A and B are shown apart, each in its own frame.
Chain A
């Protein structure tokens, strides 16, 4: 079974703090990884993707990938209440199929 594992949380951080979201995957053939944000009752929307080892930064968001450890993370700096949502990690299997984790629910407290 090709799986993507996430801590379901909930993760609670104060406003302005760094939120750290983690994800592990089982299939070493996974080539690319995506972080989606899903607000309650809404559809998922892409935040970032990463396919090279190391860090990738986009504004307040930093994705980190360690293929040797099969580990992906998303850091959110200066967390805002509007960042409160469920964050879904997904791995690209083969060339086409996304496998999603269960998601981590993040709450940013004002």
Chain B
């Protein structure tokens, strides 16, 4: 596709349910990032992949959060046993994945708005 796509765009779930958020990066982009953005705040880094390898998961809040990118393209962010505090906009970004990140543009998707009741 022309840009990063995410689905669903909106997700309402009950506390305790599991949710899976999907990200489809720009074709050919090696690097994929997950962020969480609260209202009035900047994006907060969650995790990052190069191809299928998860390079950094230091931003995942706790072990209820996990992410995978099994074939190096589409990625899924899973939140188990959701809590109300998980409510936020979850954004995915992708980049070419060149040798230097100093000048590399991350292209953001439209986000998934998660509301946990």
Specify the main secondary structure of chain B where it touches its partner: loop
Contact between chains at A97 and B108 (CB < 8 Å): no
Within 8 A of B (CB), among A63-110: 88, 90, 92, 95-103
- Residues of B contacting A62 in the complex (Cβ-Cβ under 8 angstroms): none
Q: Does A51 contact B (CB under 8 A)?
A: yes
Query: Please, how many residues of chain A have a CB less than 8 angstroms from a CB on the other chain?
Result: 23
Query: Please, how many residues of chain B have a CB less than 8 angstroms from a CB on the other chain?
Result: 24
Q: Taking the nearest CB of chain A, how far is it from the CB of B52, in angstroms?
A: 16
Q: Taking the nearest CB of chain A, how far is it from the CB of B105, in angstroms?
A: 5
- Residues of B contacting A53 in the complex (Cβ-Cβ under 8 angstroms): none
Given A98-B45, A100-B43 in contact, is the A43-B109 Cβ separation under 8 Å?
yes
Contact between chains at B91 and A92 (CB < 8 Å): no
Q: Taking the nearest CB of chain A, how far is it from the CB of B106, in angstroms?
A: 7
Given A43-B91, A43-B110 in contact, is the A90-B42 Cβ separation under 8 Å?
yes
Given A43-B109, A43-B110 in contact, is the A99-B45 Cβ separation under 8 Å?
yes
Q: Does A45 contact B (CB under 8 A)?
A: yes
A interface residue numbers (CB < 8 A to B): 4, 8, 31-32, 42-46, 49, 51, 88, 90, 92, 95-103
B interface residue numbers (CB < 8 A to A): 31, 33, 40-45, 48, 55-56, 58-59, 91, 101-103, 105-111
